[in-house]
Amino acid sequence: MATTEECRAALDKLSDNMRGAEGDVRAATELDRSVSCHITDLDVTFAGRMADGRIDVRETVEGPPREKAEIRLAMTGDDLVALVAGELNFARAWGSGRVKLEAGLRDLFRLRKLL
C-alpha cells in the first residue's frame, strides 16, 4: 500500500509532467481550477490549485475533502502511483470505477486531452 509521502511524490511528478507538456495537452493543463485528490485507502485528501500548467498542493487533510473542489479525484494510493508511473491506463481505471473524476462538463472535455 502506497504511503502518504509516496502519493504526494506522485502528485509532484504529475505536476512536473504537466509543466513539460506540449500542444493540445499543454492547453488542457492551463486550466485555473481548485483541485482535490482523495486517497481512499489512506483516507487523506490533497487539496490545492491547478494553474499555470501545474498542480500546487496547498494542504493535506485527513478524511474526505473539506470543500468541493472544481476538479475532484478519488482513488487508492497504489492506483495514483501506478497512474503517474504509466502502469495504469486512466480511461480503463475510470471506466471500471477504480478512479473517480468529477468536474464540470467543459473541464472534462479539456481534461480528456491529458488522459
Mapped onto helix, strand or coil, the DSSP state of residue 5 is helix
- What's the average model confidence in pLDDT over 93-99? 94
| Grid cell for residue 51 | 494553474
Between 91 and 33, name the one with better pLDDT.
33
Alpha carbons 103 and 88: distance in angstroms, whole number? 21
In this structure, the strands spanning 33-39 and 71-75 are parallel
- Range 5-9 average pLDDT: 98
Q: In what order do the strands lie in the sheet with 33-39?
A: 54-62, 44-51, 33-39, 71-75, 100-103
Give residue-wise pLDDT tens across range 34-86.
Answer: 999 999 999 999 999 999 888 999 999 999 999 999 999 999 999 999 999 99
Map out the domains of the chain with their CATH numbers: 4-114 (3.30.1050.10)
Characterize the bridge pairing of strands 44-51 and 100-103: unpaired
Residue 28 has pLDDT above 80, yes or no: no
What mean pLDDT is predicted for residues 95-104? Answer: 95
Beta-ladder partners of 3: none
pTM for the whole structure? 0.91
Q: How many whole angstroms separate alpha carbon 61 and alpha carbon 69?
A: 14
The conformation of residue 99, written as its DSSP 8-state character, comes to S
Amino acid code (one letter) for 77: G
Cell of 19: 509543466
